[in-house]
Amino acid sequence: AAEALGLVKGIKVYGGGMDANLIGVGAGSTGLGDTHIYSGTSGWVGTITDKPTVDVTSMIAAVVAAQPGRYNYFAELETSGKCFEWVKDHIALDECGIYIQKKHITDDIESKYLSLFSYMTSIVDDIPAGSGGVIFTPWLHGNRCPFEDPNARGMFFNISLETGKTELIRAVLEGICYHKRWMLEASAKKVKPSDVIRFVGGGALSDFTCQVLADITGHVIETVDNPQNIGAVGAAACVGVGLGIIPSFDEIKKFIPAKKTFNPNFELKEKVYDKGFEVFKSLYKQNKKSFAILNANK
């Protein structure tokens, strides 16, 4: 086999893994009870457990983890960062491709913005928490957890004459984080999430998003270097364990330290986000029949 592949005879070969498992390893969430949150195109909440747990009501299941005898208890959202991409394309930009301030933010070599995404999160930081009462549901391609419904769709709820693009953009970020909190709540029924959570994926590149996630969930949020490439880091860490460079999976976190820590603002959570969260959770039940009427035959 080595000759056929052009490899040196006797070379060590290590098995890979699925994206969710390797991302958890790359996040450093490998110890029993460790939780990570991922926000890329999709999103999830994953907690390491030693039992093959299933919650058929909330549509959460434990899958085999990278380390022997452990499982990842996964709650999944179909569209997470994809919602932010959607708001970039259809709200931050008009149909002619003109930016919010009618110039390409990243064209200036002196610009501090690495992308339109970083510019968007910087401008919505000026909008008060709660987005003027607007709530967004991130179900642009149906939903998996804590309810499974392919007919569910996204919506902006409670728009007024005072609502502008920036409120809508912030509402999308808050809506994604509301749903992550909902998945944490659903997961906690059978597997308790950790108090400190590692946040990875492209969404974790934004300090603003990290702080909103901390404020909405009430958990301390940690990020790591290069969170958008964390699956590759996880694969490398698995090889490190195989080669003996890393003593065990439980010690991987020592090799992947937190880069930044975001502590929740509990006053903001109680005054603004707890109220918004209760409304957010009610929107699916109140619109379930309408979703079915509009989307069942598509």
Phi, psi of 242 (to 5 degrees): -60, -35
What does the pLDDT look like over 146-164, one tens digit per residue? 999 999 999 999 999 999 9
Residues 233 and 201 sit within 8 Å (Cβ to Cβ)? no
pLDDT for the residue 239: 94
The percentage of the chain sitting over the pLDDT mark of 70, rounded to a whole number, equals: 92
Least Cα distance to 49 among 37, 60, 66, 34 occurs for 34
pLDDT for the residue 115: 66
Alpha helices in the chain (DSSP H): 2-5, 19-26, 81-87, 116-124, 165-188, 207-217, 230-243, 252-255, 266-268, 274-295
What does the pLDDT look like over 23-57, one tens digit per residue? 999 999 999 999 999 999 999 999 999 999 999 99
Reported residue count of the chain is 298
Query: Where on the phi/psi map is residue 136: left (φ > 0), alpha (ψ -120 to 50), or beta?
Result: beta
Across the chain, mean pLDDT equals 91
Q: Tell me the C-alpha distance between 134 and 129, whole Å.
A: 10
pLDDT at 8 over 50: yes
Q: Where are the domains of the chain?
A: 16-295
pLDDT for the residue 121: 85
pLDDT at 205 over 90: yes
| Residue 216: band (very low, low, confident or very high) from pLDDT cuts 50, 70, 90 | very high
Domain covering 16-295: architecture: 2-Layer Sandwich (3.30)
Q: Tell me the C-alpha distance between 90 and 76, whole Å.
A: 25
| Residue 97: band (very low, low, confident or very high) from pLDDT cuts 50, 70, 90 | very low
pLDDT at 102 over 80: no
